[in-house]
Structure 1
Amino acid sequence: MSTEKKKGLGRGLEAIFGEDMMEAIEDIQQGKVDAGGKTNEIAISEIRPNPYQPRKIFDEAALNDLADSIREHGVFTPILIRKSMQGYEIIAGERRWRASKIAKKDRIPAIIMDFTDAQMMEISILENVQREDLNPLEEASAYQHLAERLNYTQEVLAQRVGKSRVYVTNIMRLLKLPQPIQKMVTDKKLSIGHVRPLVTIEDEDVAIEIAEKVYKEGLSVRAVEAIAKDVSEGNIKKKTKVKPLKEKDPNLVYVENLMELKLQTYVTLDKNEIRIKYTSNDDLNRILELLGCIEE
């Protein structure tokens, strides 16, 4: 069992699911574990999405593929739901519910469980984060919502979701970006690497103008960092021309993303070098432990 997964659960959820939430949820849904509930056939019309669902965008093509499978084979794995004031709310399995609606099914197999609002909120975020189903802004919004509703500090929040405090802090800072820039990220016009430097720019109009320039001219992340630095230092002028830099090899960007996900910090691959950012001795020790560099 990985250390990351152990950190990802709070006491309440750990008492229900054990150390590995995703495996436990799947065991419950497949009837391998008695969770105090039984599988029922529930009318789809009586079920509503989880009100704390952080994922806002569902892949329509993937949903239609799942709907085709459900038409032919049905739903093999029950969804998890809880009773609400009117009908039921989904705990886990919203994709199956949505696909069943597309497939024109009237009922869906479901296991009814007793969850508090706080548990609903946490499990929705943890399920999506562990499955990497959220885009960065959805993830950031989910963390902020969880922190505000449950009065978590960023340190406690990081422990609950199994991420480093630095990672949580940095991703939540993206919510400071103007909405037009956030939409460019959601629409995959700009990467997180491109917009991260723009967080430091206080003038929203200037930040939006730069983001549009980056998209139209295909500027590199390094070019954006240079522009943001000039703005913050007051060196940029209206007619300043920034030449597009050569875009980084997509394969290197892919490896950077993999390493950042594993180490939960910024990683840069450039000129046959790997640069890993750490913020303190404790953070360095955390990274070394993940890399297996600390002797027992």
Structure 2
Amino acid sequence: MTDKKRSGLGRGIDAIFSDFEKDEITSENVVEISLEDIRPNPYQPRKTFDQEALDDLAQSIKENGVFQPIVVRKSVNGFQIVVGERRFRASKIAQRSTIPAIIRQLDESQMMEIGVLENLQREDLNPIEEAQAYQTLIEKLHLTQEQVSERLGKSRPYIANYLRLLSLPEQTKQLLINGDLTMAQARTLLTFKDPKKIDQVAKLAVEQGLTVRQLESMATQPVKIVKKTAPAKSSFITETEEQLVNKFGTSVKVTDSKNGKGKIQIDFASTKDLNRILELLNISID
């Protein structure tokens, strides 16, 4: 993380938590709250949590407790998490009944901004989660891209490039979320415009390890789909099919395999037609 990025996010967090400095956080400010009374932050940008990391944190909590209290605000039904959902989830895994928390008086917009900024500061969101975080700030707080960039200490093109990722089709988004595609590859795929083509090329990029340069060159050329063609039939198989067609008066397909085994497929149009073929084969069904 660059100093500019760190200081930009720092200013955003400090501005929102400025009142913390006025209220020295002492033991009187920290209370134990039942986990059953706590709900996640609805504006939490993080959609996926590393289960192994949660299990490790849960084990630490079992042994040592929760060192850093979470931050919550009162809601109609209990409390909503403002900061600390990982500690909340790990505490549930550790089968704790309560968790230390600081209750803050925050309105909807403050809770949302804190949740988004706190997660962005951690820098472990996947590209789609980060893009959705910026989109949330724009839509819910009615900010422009320029205003978001100023609050976070990032350039406006940086914000714009992430927001563009949200227009990717779902299949390609998932490849990006999983880490199969890089941010640079995903941005290049946007030049293909057609969602079906984007998914198609994205899958090809993962399977063949295509570089950004290769994807850029493909964007100006049609994507060629190589279809598997059936191997040419031998003259013996072809002649056999012709004789069987003449005998049964219907479509017949003979398939030969490399190991000497094969199959004969005889088509029929109706039960009456099937009985006719069976008679030709001297087969009677009682």
CA contact (8 A) 2:126 2:177 kept: yes
Which residue is equivalent to 1:79? 70
1:215 equivalent to 2:215? Answer: no
Which residue is equivalent to 1:140? 131
Q: Distance in 2 between matches of 1:174 and 1:37?
A: 45
Q: Distance in 1 between matches of 2:36 and 2:72?
A: 13
Change (3 A) 1:101 1:239: closer
1:47 equivalent to 2:33? Answer: no
Shift of 1:4: 3.8
Q: Distance in 1 between matches of 2:145 and 2:200?
A: 31
Q: Distance in 1 between matches of 2:62 and 2:172?
A: 40
1:236 equivalent to 2:222? Answer: yes
Q: 1:62 aligns with which of 53, 59, 64?
A: 53
Q: Distance in 1 between matches of 2:154 and 2:119?
A: 14
Which residue is equivalent to 1:200? 191
Q: How many residues align?
A: 225
Q: Distance in 2 between matches of 1:43 and 1:52?
A: 22
One-letter amino acid matched to 2:17: F
Identity %: 45
Which residue is equivalent to 1:8? 9
Q: Which aligned pairs between 1:212-291 and structure 2 lie closer than 5 A? A: 212-228=203-219, 230=220, 235-236=221-222, 238=224
CA contact (8 A) 1:37 1:113 kept: no
Q: Distance in 2 between matches of 1:122 and 1:194?
A: 30
Greater Rg by CA? 2
Q: Distance in 2 between matches of 1:150 and 1:101?
A: 32
- Alignment RMSD: 2.6
Shift of 1:216: 1.4
Shift of 1:5: 4.4
Q: What's the CA shift string for 1:2-36, capped at 9, x where partnerless? A: 5544543678x644434xxxxx98x89xxx93499
Q: Distance in 2 between matches of 1:113 and 1:37?
A: 13
Q: TM-score, normalised by structure 1?
A: 0.70
Change (3 A) 1:195 1:15: closer
Q: What's the CA shift string for 1:109-151, capped at 9, x where partnerless? A: 1010011111111111111111102111100011112101111
Q: Distance in 2 between matches of 1:128 and 1:221?
A: 29
Which residue is equivalent to 2:160? 169
Residue ranges of structure 1 left out of the alignment (5+ in a row): 19-23, 241-296
Change (3 A) 1:207 1:2: closer
**Which of 159-168 and 34-43 deviates more?**
34-43
1:116 equivalent to 2:107? Answer: yes
CA contact (8 A) 1:9 1:160 kept: no
Residue ranges of structure 2 left out of the alignment (5+ in a row): 227-286
Which residue is equivalent to 1:286? none
Which residue is equivalent to 1:253? none
- Where 1:40 maps in the other structure, the secondary structure is strand
One-letter amino acid matched to 1:113: R
Which residue is equivalent to 1:17? 17
Change (3 A) 1:16 1:60: same
Shift of 1:206: 1.0
CA contact (8 A) 1:75 1:96 kept: yes
CA contact (8 A) 2:41 2:80 kept: yes
Shift of 1:176: 0.9
Shift of 1:171: 0.8
Q: Distance in 2 between matches of 1:192 and 1:153?
A: 23
CA contact (8 A) 1:8 1:159 kept: no
- Where 2:46 maps in the other structure, the secondary structure is coil
Shift of 1:221: 2.1
One-letter amino acid matched to 1:185: L
**Which of 33-42 and 150-159 deviates more?**
33-42
CA contact (8 A) 2:71 2:82 kept: yes
Which residue is equivalent to 1:127? 118
CA contact (8 A) 1:36 1:113 kept: no
Q: Distance in 1 between matches of 2:193 and 2:158?
A: 22
Q: TM-score, normalised by structure 2?
A: 0.72
Change (3 A) 1:156 1:75: same
- Where 2:179 maps in the other structure, the secondary structure is coil
